[in-house]
Every structure is written in structure tokens, then in C-alpha cells.
């Protein structure tokens, strides 16, 4: 299995372990497999047995073998066993699935150490990084951006690991108190929290600017844990497969997925799984008030917004107006035309976006790739949280509520069961939960002391050069 950049017309191939440590391609593009593995009936049948008899970690190892040929199979099995186990994850299924109501299910992706779906990829990424760095006798400086949950998931996955430093950028005062406490409460010598004066998109732009500085990237061994890193999406493909298995009885049954998203990473993994041949009917994009993706799938116009025009909402992890992983999908949709993708994302996105409404490809997106979309507002998510609590006896977080709201909106248009991907536990969003049900969510015992911890964070301006200087000054742990 080899990988290419979405912006490289020469299609220069790279191995998995090379792109694992590189993150973003040197040309600014994102890595994808030269071609997706193709699943068959026998493989799906085997995976049903593997999941039932051996568990999630064994299924993960089997899926990873399709994408990774430069790590021995037994080593991959060990990596997955260390990443996915109890008590690291609170439920023995790792990703349990439950029925919310007729035709709608929830895949519980928040059983990990930071109570967010990001743990599903980060725990694997931590094991892969440590394995490959030890094999190469090398070090890695991780520079990432978070709108809420990526940061804490990454830091909990990387803390204490030899040869790894983490510099995580957050939008100053834009995360919930619990999310800030999870990150800023870590007092580890290899963890550095930076509160940037701006929105998440500004943080992401700084990370991309640092990655684009080839000399700085090489000197400081810069890598990425954001969903620009292919390994994140590879890990997420696994739970689409496990969830499909847990919600079907036979291989001829299809399911649909409704995914709350801002950066298009979570649902991009679903797109990849569907391209591989997993029996997925619809992929339903659920946005909040920052509805760039909903607007595109309805009109063909990908109209990015500035930080000033990005709404601050009660589902803050989705307060994103430039979806990095969208480039991967457009690359596929445009027949993997790297020159055109380079123009769209390397040039036009910087000046406001692009419009594919007149392109022959746009009318085919629903049939070829299964995409639908919808949006949710603050009033919608509060009402959905209240309704699920009162009628279904289930308490969900605001992002998951965005997904449930959209799933309910489109239910009559979809012929298959819809699985809503859970984003986080409600404890992370106490203010909105209280507004919805009149009381704060219960705090799981493992997080009982988190709000009382000291804070370790540095405030910085929205300036890539200033961040680079800080990284250079803290080059040695």
C-alpha cells in the first residue's frame, strides 16, 4: 500500500510509516492511498466473527493490515491491543451501539480516556508514533490545533511517551471550562498548551504555516495529530465497520450514518469505508450554524468564512468554516485531478472558496457517494437534548444532538437505519445541558477532580512566527 498527495500531479508514492510521521504533504496536500482496498463478502463475514470472538482490537488489526505493509502483522496486533482495551476504554465493546428510537441508533464513541470520539484515533496514533520512533531512533514534535476535543485526546495519548513533544493550539476562551480543564490541567514535561488569540481556523492556519516551512519542519521534526494525518482517518474507518457489524445481521443489509462535523474528518472516514465497499447507504453531514458543508452539499458552493464571520456556538467543536478533510473527498469526486485540487484548495479557498454547482460532478454526489446534509441551531440542539432525555431516557451532548436533529429531519428520505455517531459525553458541556434539562450532567468518577487542577497554558498572538519561536525555545524536553 502506497500513498499520494491530493496536490501532487506526479503521484509520487510514499510508504505508510513515512506519511505517518510527516502528517501534511510538503506541497500542502493531504495523503490518501493510491487506491482503496476492496472488501468482499468473505472478508466481511470473517470480520463479523473476529469482532464477536476476539473483540474490537482484533478487528482493528485486520483493517489496518489492508493499509499498512511496512509494519509486521504481529506488531500491528500488539499496537491495536495496547490502543483498544479496558479499562483504557470504559466499555468492553470499545464502541457499543444502542437504539435511540425507531430507525435511529447511536454509536457510542466516547468511552475513551477523555470522553470524546477523538480517543478512537488518538490512542492508536500514540502507539504507532512511539513504535515507529523507537524503530527509527528518532524524535517527533507534534504541532496541532483543536476546537475542543482533539487537544485533550492527543495529549492524553502522547503524554509521557519517549521522543514525543506536543504543542497544542487552542482558540483562546472558545472551549468549555471542562475541555480547558482537561487540557490545561496536564502538567507533563512533553506537553505544551498554547491559547491563540483567534478562532479554530486561525489555529489550523498556524499549524499549516508551520508545516509548510520545510526547513523548520525538518529541523524540529514536526508532525501532526490533527485529522490531516492519514492515520487518524484509517483508525476511524474501523468503527464504521464495527458499527455496521453491530447493527446488521447479514452482509446484504445497509445502514446510513449521520455525522456531526466541522472539519469533515469523521465523515471522511465513512466516505472511505463506503468506497471500500462497506454496505453504507447514506452519509449524512450534520452541521451547526457554521454551515459551510451543508451549503456545499445543497448548492455546490464551498464558501469559506473568515474568523470574524464564524459563529461561536454551543457545539464549539464544530465552529469551523474551513474543513481541511473536505479536500480528500473533493480529490476523489474530481477523479483525483491533483492539479485542479491544488488550484481549488491551494488558491481559491484562500480567497473565499469555490463553486462546483456548474460542474458535471456536482449532481452525481448523492448517487455516487451517498451524501446528504442538514444543519442544527442552538434552539434545535437544546430541544433535541431535552427531548432525548425526557422521551428516550438518553442524555446526549450538543454535537451529538446536532446529529440526532438532522437524522430525524431526513429520516423519511432514507430507507435504511441511521446510526448517529456520538461525539462526546455530556459532562463536557454542562452549561448547555443545564439549559436543556435544568440541571448539570453527572460527572463520571474518573473526572471528579479535573476542575480543581492547576492550569498550564501560554497565551500567544495569532502569529505563526511567534508560535515557531516558542516551539524552538522549548525544543528539548
CB 149 within 8 A of CB 173: no
Q: In the structure, how many helices (H) and strands (E) does the chain have?
A: 19, 15
**Residue 32, CB-side half-sphere exposure with 13 Å CA sphere:** 27
> Using CA atoms, how far apart are residues 105 and 46, in angstroms rounded to an integer?
24
DSSP 302: E
Nearest CA-CA partner of 64 in 277, 235, 225: 235
- From the candidates 46, 77, 118, 208, which is the catalytic residue? 118
Reply yes or no on whether 118 is catalytic. yes
| Count of other CB atoms within 10 angstroms of residue 132 | 19
- Of 83, 86, 44, which Cα lies nearest the Cα of 61? 83
**Residue 185 is inside which H or E element, if any?**
none
Q: For domain 97-114+230-437, which CATH number applies: 2.40.37.10, 3.40.1190.20, 3.40.50.1100, 3.90.950.20?
A: 3.40.50.1100
- Note the pLDDT of residue 180: 87
Task: Let me know if 437 is exposed, middle or buried by CB neighbors in 10 A (0-12, 13-18, 19+).
Answer: middle
DSSP characters over 303-369: E---GGGSPP-SSGGG--SS-TTHHHHHHHHTTS-HHHHHHIIIIIGGGTEEE-TTSTTGGGHHHHH
Instruction: Specify the pLDDT at position 127.
Output: 96
- Tell me the three cell numbers of residue 24: 501534511
CA 39/CA 36 separation, integer angstroms: 9
347 alpha carbon, distance to own chain's centre: 24
pLDDT in tens, the chain (477 residues): 999 999 999 999 999 999 998 878 989 999 999 999 999 999 999 999 999 999 999 999 999 999 999 999 999 999 999 999 999 999 999 999 999 999 999 999 999 999 999 999 999 999 999 999 999 999 999 998 887 678 888 899 999 898 899 999 999 988 888 888 888 988 899 999 999 999 888 998 999 899 889 899 889 988 877 778 899 999 999 999 999 999 999 999 999 999 999 889 999 999 999 999 999 999 999 999 999 999 999 999 999 998 788 898 999 888 888 898 999 999 999 999 999 999 999 999 999 999 999 999 999 999 999 999 999 999 999 999 999 999 999 999 999 999 999 999 999 999 999 999 999 999 989 999 999 999 999 988 878 888 888 899 999 999 999 999 999 999 664
Q: Where are the domains of the chain?
A: 97-114+230-437
- Residue 159, pLDDT score: 92
pLDDT tens digits, 67-82: 999 999 999 999 999 9
**Residue 256 exposure: Cα atoms within 13 Å on the Cβ side:** 29
Which pLDDT score is estimated for 470? 96
pLDDT score at 476: 66
Residue 182 CB-half CA count within 13 A: 27
Dig out the grid coordinates for 246 from the structure. Answer: 453491530
Count of positions (residues) in the chain: 477
Alpha carbon distance 181, 42 (integer Å): 46
Residue 209 backbone dihedrals phi, psi, to 5 degrees: -65, -40
Closest Cα partner for 262 from 340, 203, 339?
203
pTM of structure = 0.92
Q: Which residue carries 463478502 as its cell?
A: 41
Residue of 266, 235, 229 lying closest to 67 (CA atoms)? 235
The pLDDT tens digits for 421-464 are 999 999 989 999 999 999 999 988 878 888 888 899 999 999 99
Amino acid at each position: 500500500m502506497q500513498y499520494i498527495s491530493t496536490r501532487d500531479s506526479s503521484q509520487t508514492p510514499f510508504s505508510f510509516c513515512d506519511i505517518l510521521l510527516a502528517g501534511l504533504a510538503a506541497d500542502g496536500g493531504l495523503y490518501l492511498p493510491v487506491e482503496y482496498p476492496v472488501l468482499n463478502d468473505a472478508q466481511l463475514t470473517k470480520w463479523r466473527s473476529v469482532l464477536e470472538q476476539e473483540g474490537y482490537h482484533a478487528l482493528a488489526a485486520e483493517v489496518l493490515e489492508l493499509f499498512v505493509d511496512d509494519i509486521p502483522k504481529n506488531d500491528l496486533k500488539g499496537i491495536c491491543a495496547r490502543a483498544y482495551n479496558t479499562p483504557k476504554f470504559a466499555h468492553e465493546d470499545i464502541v457499543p451501539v444502542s437504539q435511540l428510537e425507531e430507525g435511529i441508533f447511536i454509536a457510542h464513541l466516547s468511552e475513551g480516556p477523555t470522553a470524546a470520539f477523538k480517543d478512537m484515533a488518538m490512542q492508536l496514533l500514540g502507539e504507532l508514533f512511539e513504535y515507529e520512533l523507537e524503530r527509527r531512533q528518532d524524535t517527533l514534535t507534534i504541532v496541532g490545533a483543536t476546537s475542543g476535543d482533539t487537544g485533550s485526546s492527543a495529549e492524553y495519548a502522547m503524554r509521557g511517551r519517549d521522543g514525543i513533544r506536543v504543542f497544542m493550539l487552542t482558540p483562546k476562551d472558545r472551549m468549555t471550562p471542562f475541555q480547558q480543564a482537561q487540557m490545561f490541567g496536564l502538567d507533563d514535561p512533553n506537553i505544551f498548551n498554547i491559547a491563540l488569540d483567534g478562532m479554530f481556523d486561525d489555529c489550523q492556519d498556524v499549524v499549516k504555516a508551520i508545516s509548510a516551512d520545510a526547513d523548520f519542519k525538518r529541523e524540529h521534526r514536526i508532525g501532526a495529530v490533527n485529522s490531516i494525518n492519514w492515520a487518524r482517518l484509517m483508525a476511524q474507518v474501523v468503527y464504521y465497520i464495527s458499527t455496521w457489524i453491530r447493527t446488521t445481521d447479514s452482509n446484504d443489509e445497509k445502514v446510513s450514518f449521520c455525522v456531526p462535523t466541522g472539519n469533515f474528518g469523521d465523515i471522511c472516514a465513512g466516505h472511505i469505508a463506503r468506497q471500500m465497499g462497506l454496505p453504507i447507504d447514506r452519509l449524512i453531514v450534520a452541521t451547526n450554524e457554521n454551515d459551510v458543508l451543508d451549503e456545499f452539499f445543497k448548492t455546490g458552493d464551498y464558501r469559506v468564512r473568515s474568523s470574524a464571520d464564524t459563529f461561536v456556538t454551543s457545539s464549539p467543536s464544530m465552529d469551523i468554516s474551513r474543513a481541511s478533510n473536505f479536500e480528500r473527498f473533493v480529490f476523489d469526486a474530481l477523479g483525483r485531478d491533483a492539479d485542479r485540487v491544488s488550484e481549488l484548495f491551494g488558491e481559491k479557498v484562500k480567497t473565499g472558496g469555490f463553486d462546483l454547482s456548474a460542474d458535471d460532478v456536482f449532481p452525481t454526489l448523492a448517487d455516487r457517494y451517498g451524501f446528504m446534509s442538514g444543519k442544527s441551531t442552538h434552539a434545535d440542539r437544546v430541544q433535541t437534548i431535552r427531548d432525548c432525555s425526557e422521551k428516550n431516557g438518553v442524555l446526549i451532548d450538543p454535537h451529538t444532538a446536532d446529529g440526532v436533529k438532522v437524522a430525524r429531519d431526513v429520516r423519511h428520505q432514507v430507507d435504511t437505519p441511521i446510526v448517529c455517531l456520538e461525539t462526546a459525553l455530556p459532562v463536557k458541556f454542562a452549561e448547555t445541558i443545564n439549559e436543556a434539562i435544568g440541571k448539570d450532567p453527572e460527572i463520571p468518577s474518573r473526572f471528579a477532580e479535573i476542575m480543581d487542577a492547576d492550569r498550564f497554558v501560554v497565551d500567544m498572538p495569532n502569529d505563526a512566527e511567534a508560535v515557531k519561536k516558542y516551539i524552538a525555545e522549548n525544543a528539548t524536553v
